[in-house]
Amino acid sequence: MREDFSPVIEELIAKLKSEKFDMLVRCVPFLGGKTYICYIGQLVDRQSISEHVIKPLVDISLQKVRGIDAEFAVDHMFYVDECHIGDDLNLVKGFLLNGQTVVFFSSDSRYVIVNRKKVENRTVSPPELMYSYRAPRDSFVEDMDTNLSLLRYRIKDDNIRIIKKDVGSRTKTSVAVVYLNDIANQSVVKEVLNKIDGIKVSGVFESGELQGFLSDGKTSLFPKMGIIERSDMAVEKLLEGKVLLLVSGSNLVIQAPIVFAEFVYSCDDRYDNKFFGLFMRLIRYTAIIVSLTITSLYIAVSAFHPDVLPAYYTITFAQMRSRAPVSSFIAVLSLEFILELVREALLRVPVKIGSAIAIVGAIIIGQAATASGIFSPLLLILVSIGFLSTFVIPDFMLSNVLRIVKFLIIIMTGIFGFYGFSIAITFILSVLVSANSFGVPYFAPWAPFNLYDAVRTFIFSRGFSPERQKYMRNQDKMRSPGKKGGQP
């Protein structure tokens, strides 16, 4: 039995110490040998290490026990649920950086990896992005294990699959791919996994970054993957055959694939009366159209085609603009720009200052601008309606895109009138209908059209929707158990 470590291990420990990534080494001698307990202090639960790893080692050394090796330690000493034996010294550094504790024995060439990782987490808290008045209030946090536990607490299906991958050559960020094996389209799962494997980057910190790598078109404006903050919604998506991606360190889960219509969906639509859900979706679709077009239409009507207005309104329109010093195009652009400034400022400042900015914005835009006649009162009303409409869209990823697209339509309309407006709308629609998300047409169920799914885009209840969305091409197409051979 060796009393000293082999030179290889001694060299390895010396090398790791010299690299100065703050590795701590605790040496515990025992009869006829010694152990090295190596870990990074910031990444482990040091109290647990002391209690469940070091204390048993010290106790056993006092009992003069001989022949302590890796196998003996795992079987009879460490009070730890997750520990295993390793023998490849090249992996030691990776284990340490991942928050594991590595225990070397002078009497054994192998070592023990003990998982006593500790990451500072916040507790599960109510969602901030996907607010709902009816849905459960537990939302995802930055810790992946907590997020997975939230999922598994809601779904007790043995078909759930969790595939973990490390992304980032330096950060080694854990990414969990979660799906239901008997529902999800396997080609989507395969594509997601392949894309994750193909990511070559030094680090990923947030699910949004991963989303960027996984999206099909690198120049695509519209989001091809959705985000989920609520665990109940995530489970619902699993049941619909989606693939979820949980990223360690991110409180937002990514879902794939996604279609445009799903951005208009809020979980309240499902929990509440289906007719109220229909009403709200109609409001949201209207809001999308209004937010995109209302100010462009103002330009088209006031500067190019006043004939489209009833005659009386033409005069009212002209009266409201009679003191405006700039053209309607410039006025719209300026006002939209001011609102974007206010919005951005409100996002970047503390909440207490935010209210002050809102007041200043309201006074400057609402009072001074109309009193001085720089902007027509009608334009202010229309811009405000457009601004409010963007907040009605439940998913901020879509509303952010619409903010950009709105400027495109405004500029095209400002240059070409209704002609430009039509070109811009046609362009946007053609982009939407030609896009796809992991093989699923992005504008489904409208293009390609499917009546069953299209109806349920507006009015949904599990009672009359026994089948899952057809455009998803799931393995199990039935949502309701016992109907047309569907599985529970």
Partner 1 sequence: MLPKKARIIALTASFSVIFAGCWDSLDINNRDICTAVIADQERGAYSFYAEIANVTAKVQQGGQNGGQGGGGDQGPATYIARGHGESFAETRLSIDNNINKQIFLGAVQALIITENMAKKGILQYAYRIRQSLDYRKTMDVLVTSDRPDNFFSVKPENSSTVGFAINYTLRSLERSGKTFHMSLDDLLQKLASKNPSYLLSSVSVKNGQIMLSGYSVFDGDKDIGFIPYEKAKGTIFLMLGGGGKSKFDYPVMDGEESVTFEVSLKSMKIKADYSMGKVSFTLDMKFTARLLYPSNAVRITSEKLDKIREKLKKQLESEISEALFLSRAYYKCDYFSMSEAFRIAHPGAYKKMIWKDEFVKASFSTNIKVDLKKNYSIDYNPGKEWPY
Name the residues that contact partner 1, by CB under 8 A.
Answer: 301-304, 306-307, 311-312, 314-315, 317-324, 327-329, 373, 414-417, 419-420, 423
Q: How far is the CB of 373 from partner 1 (least distance, A)?
A: 8
Q: Are 246 and 259 in contact (CB under 8 A)?
A: no
Alpha carbons 436 and 444: distance in angstroms, whole number: 9
Q: Are 183 and 241 in contact (CB under 8 A)?
A: yes
Q: How far is the CB of 326 from partner 1 (least distance, A)?
A: 9
Q: How far is the CB of 405 from partner 1 (least distance, A)?
A: 19
The backbone torsions φ and ψ at residue 131, rounded to the nearest 5 degrees and listed phi first, read: -75, 140
Task: Kindly state the tokens that stand for 205.
Answer: 């910190």
The residues, any chain, with a CB within 8 Å of residue 371's CB and separated by 6 or more, are none
When the beta carbons of 311 and 451 are compared against partner 1, the nearer one is 311
Alpha carbons 356 and 336: distance in angstroms, whole number: 20
Q: How far is the CB of 301 from partner 1 (least distance, A)?
A: 8
With b for 16 or more beta-carbon neighbours within 10 A and e for fewer, the 310-329 pattern comes to eeeeeeebeebbeebeeebb
Q: How far is the CB of 387 from partner 1 (least distance, A)?
A: 23
Task: Kindly state the tokens that stand for 366.
Answer: 């609402």
When the beta carbons of 39 and 329 are compared against partner 1, the nearer one is 329
When the beta carbons of 105 and 304 are compared against partner 1, the nearer one is 304
- C-alpha torsion 179→181→185→191, nearest 10: 60
Q: How far is the CB of 307 from partner 1 (least distance, A)?
A: 4
When the beta carbons of 283 and 308 are compared against partner 1, the nearer one is 308
Q: How far is the CB of 306 from partner 1 (least distance, A)?
A: 4
- What are the E-state strand segments in 198-288? 226-228, 243-247, 253-256
Q: How far is the CB of 305 from partner 1 (least distance, A)?
A: 9
Q: How far is the CB of 217 from partner 1 (least distance, A)?
A: 18
Alpha carbons 239 and 233: distance in angstroms, whole number: 10
When the beta carbons of 420 and 441 are compared against partner 1, the nearer one is 420
Q: How far is CA 477 from CA 182, 234, 457, 466, 468, in A?
A: 10, 19, 17, 9, 5
Separation of first and last alpha carbons in the chain: 59
Task: Kindly state the tokens that stand for 66.
Answer: 């001989």
When the beta carbons of 116 and 321 are compared against partner 1, the nearer one is 321
When the beta carbons of 126 and 325 are compared against partner 1, the nearer one is 325
Q: Are 224 and 437 in contact (CB under 8 A)?
A: yes
- 3-state helix, strand, coil split of the chain in percent (to 5) is 50, 15, 35
When the beta carbons of 21 and 313 are compared against partner 1, the nearer one is 313
When the beta carbons of 133 and 312 are compared against partner 1, the nearer one is 312
The residues, any chain, with a CB within 8 Å of residue 236's CB and separated by 6 or more, are 267, 270
When the beta carbons of 408 and 459 are compared against partner 1, the nearer one is 408
The C-alpha angle with vertex 112 and arms to 107 and 116, in degrees rounded to 5, equals: 140
When the beta carbons of 304 and 438 are compared against partner 1, the nearer one is 304
- C-alpha torsion 143→50→7→13, nearest 10: 40
Q: How far is the CB of 377 from partner 1 (least distance, A)?
A: 9
Q: How far is the CB of 383 from partner 1 (least distance, A)?
A: 17
When the beta carbons of 324 and 345 are compared against partner 1, the nearer one is 324
| Nearest to 199, CA basis, from 210, 187, 188 | 210
Give the length of the chain.
Answer: 488
Q: How far is the CB of 388 from partner 1 (least distance, A)?
A: 24
Count of Cβ atoms closer than 10 Å to residue 290 Cβ: 19
